[in-house]
Amino acid sequence: MRTNAPLARTAAALLAAGLLISGCSGGSSPDPSAQSSLDSSAQDALEAYSAQQLKWRECGVPGFECSTLKAPLDYTKPDDGEIKLAVSRKKATGPGKRIGSLLVNPGGPGGSAIEYLQAYAALAYPAPVRARYDMVAVDPRGVARSAPVECLGDKEMDAYTQTDVTPDDSREQDQLVAAYKEFSQSCEKRSARILPHVSTVDAARDMDLLREVLGDGKLHYVGASYGTFLGSTYAELFPEKTGRLVLDGAMDPSLPAEQMNLDQTAGFETAFQSFAKDCVKESDCPLGTTSPEDASRRLSAFFKELDAKPIPAGDRELGESLATTGVIAAMYDEGAWPQLRDALTSAMKDKDGSGLLLLSDSYYERQPDGKYGNIMFANAAVNCLDLPAAFTSPDQVEKAAPDFQKASPVFGEGLAWAGLTCAYWPEKPTGSAHRIEAKGAAPLLVVGTTRDPATPYKWAESLADQLATGTLLTYDGDGHTAYGRGSDCIDTAINRYLLEGKVPEDGKRC
């Protein structure tokens, strides 16, 4: 999502923002033996997919090639139809011996790996890495160019993003539930064929198919945020095929959805407190100049004002929901804090909500012409398959709400109600929370940022501990993920791992 200059360099982080809408993905339960139990006809169908030859073509971006990978719609019934997955690559530039393909994924779920590759990774990754790897991306099934999940139309999506997610009474609760139901029903109506087949396990199997078709003996991979869950799922399914896997901004697959949402709520509170400490030092801070606690109170009061009466934002309006989303979007990178400060100043002092609306639009992949990308649709589709819903009724949300509000007085209530999204999903979940050990995998590098808003640091600690060959690398800092965000210490350690296969000392801090 390329929106404006301050946020453009953090496109990958903002893509991962989709985690909030329906609760983080956390744990499909892969069955490595599933393919071995197929009958001969199905095995022949799988072998035909593996034997396909990719036809590369220029795709409008200088230096990049694009192709289409055919994959089974259902890996348990591979002769029952196919889907087409979009793939892009930038060949290794040299000098030095080519190591193989380096697959990248920016997270989400729902982020376009191809957009990330073409707009950022193949240009910003260090030259020595680009010299020795073909940089490769595949949009996961259901995402962007790969059989995208479709749900609400653009005007309906505008209405959905403005739905009040802090209901004050039973009438507003009913309106929120109705909005979640309408969203789910629209997905079923427009995407019934693909919806049962977009789990993280399916996407991991697609990655192995691509590895085989590319002719690589091992999968080398850099995944951010949700991309770490995709990568660890791959390692669990195919430990003997894992090469050098970087899992940056790690997720903990052992947690159920409610706990993941609660942890993430606390993570955004931590990030906001860091922003507030920075803001109150400035004489023009719209949240006051006394303390972070006072800043929290002022922002909460402003959100309540917007709940009662939205303010103008160009030819649209800014209400509480969109304003909250705008603030959250800026929490992913401290480089966006000045922009957030300006946006809050305009909204709170001048009653001009256009700055916060721009931030919110970047989160939702809403373009200036009013068209939406499919990140929110794919996000819900994957999350609601991967884990049982965090909550299944408004009563459950109300019971849990005090814990969420304690975790974040600013964001807690809204994020608690967001956990109800999957309650009305048309497909039953196929996954469950569980530990991932990936015994037999090559050494895996897990990276955590201490004040990461979206993937709290303790998740990285937990994943590194679960993985039989996991090594933890820590970035003591703010923002979402660590690689390529300005730390020479982090980048040097990751680059050495990618180029030489050597993990840093376990527990190394930068």
Distances (CA, A) of 233 to 50, 247, 325, 427: 20, 11, 29, 21
Q: What DSSP letter does each residue of 212-238 carry, written as one string?
A: HHHT-SSEEEEEETHHHHHHHHHHHH-
Are residues 390 and 359 in contact, defined by beta-carbon separation less than 8 angstroms? Answer: no
| Separation CA 75–CA 46 (nearest Å) | 8
Q: How confident is the model at residue 27 (pLDDT cuts 50, 70, 90)?
A: low
Are residues 253 and 463 in contact, defined by beta-carbon separation less than 8 angstroms? Answer: yes
409-439: per-residue pLDDT in tens? 999 999 999 999 999 999 999 999 999 999 9
Question: For all residues of the chain together, what is the average pLDDT?
Answer: 92
| Sequence letter at residue 165 | V
452 is catalytic: yes
- Domains delineated in the chain: 51-149+199-256+435-509 (3.40.50.1820), 154-193+257-364+390-424 (no CATH)
297-323: per-residue pLDDT in tens? 999 999 999 999 999 999 999 999 999
Are residues 381 and 142 in contact, defined by beta-carbon separation less than 8 angstroms? Answer: yes
Question: Which residues neighbour 309 within 8 Å (Cβ) at sequence distance 6 or greater?
Answer: none
Q: Which of 25, 225, 274, 346 is catalytic?
A: 225
| Sequence letter at residue 114 | I
pLDDT of residue 42: 81
Quote the tokens at residue 433.
């929370």
Does residue 7 have a pLDDT over 50? no
197 is catalytic: no
| Separation CA 221–CA 244 (nearest Å) | 6
103-126: per-residue pLDDT in tens? 999 999 999 999 999 999 988 899
- Name the pTM for this structure: 0.92
Are β-strands 316-318 and 311-313 bridged in parallel, bridged antiparallel, or unpaired? antiparallel
Euclidean distance between the first and the last CA atom of the chain, given in angstroms as a whole number: 29
CB atoms within 10 A of CB 117: 28
Distances (CA, A) of 13 to 34, 82, 177, 249: 34, 31, 29, 10
Q: Single out the residue of 439, 454, 502 nearest to residue 224, CA to CA.
A: 454
154-194: per-residue pLDDT in tens? 999 999 999 999 999 999 999 999 999 999 999 999 999 99
Question: Which residues neighbour 141 within 8 Å (Cβ) at sequence distance 6 or greater?
Answer: 71, 83, 85, 147, 194, 197, 198, 202, 203, 206
Q: Which residue has the higher pLDDT, 2 or 241?
A: 241
> Which residue bears the tokens 């709400």?
401
Does residue 93 have a pLDDT over 80? yes
482-506: per-residue pLDDT in tens? 999 899 999 999 999 999 999 999 8
> Which residue bears the tokens 């993941």?
260
Are residues 363 and 17 in contact, defined by beta-carbon separation less than 8 angstroms? Answer: yes
| Separation CA 348–CA 425 (nearest Å) | 37
480 is catalytic: yes
In the three-class reduction of DSSP (H, G, I as helix; E, B as strand; rest coil), residue 133 is classed as strand
In the three-class reduction of DSSP (H, G, I as helix; E, B as strand; rest coil), residue 465 is classed as helix
| Separation CA 327–CA 295 (nearest Å) | 13
> Residue 156, Cα to own-chain centre: how many angstroms?
23
User: What are the start-end ranges of the H helices in 331-419?
Assistant: 337-350, 354-364, 375-386, 394-407, 412-418
| Separation CA 387–CA 23 (nearest Å) | 9
Are residues 387 and 26 in contact, defined by beta-carbon separation less than 8 angstroms? Answer: yes
Phi-psi region of 434 (alpha: psi -120 to 50; beta: other; left: phi over 0): beta
Q: How confident is the model at residue 288 (pLDDT cuts 50, 70, 90)?
A: very high
Q: Which of 307, 452, 478, 491 is catalytic?
A: 452
Does residue 444 have a pLDDT over 70? yes
| Separation CA 413–CA 473 (nearest Å) | 33
Could you give the dihedral angle defined by the CA atoms of residues 229, 232, 238 and 244, in that order, rounded to the nearest 10 degrees?
120
Bridge partners, 66 (sequence order): 57, 88
pLDDT of residue 399: 97
| Separation CA 318–CA 308 (nearest Å) | 11
Q: Single out the residue of 332, 313, 333 nearest to residue 323, CA to CA.
A: 313
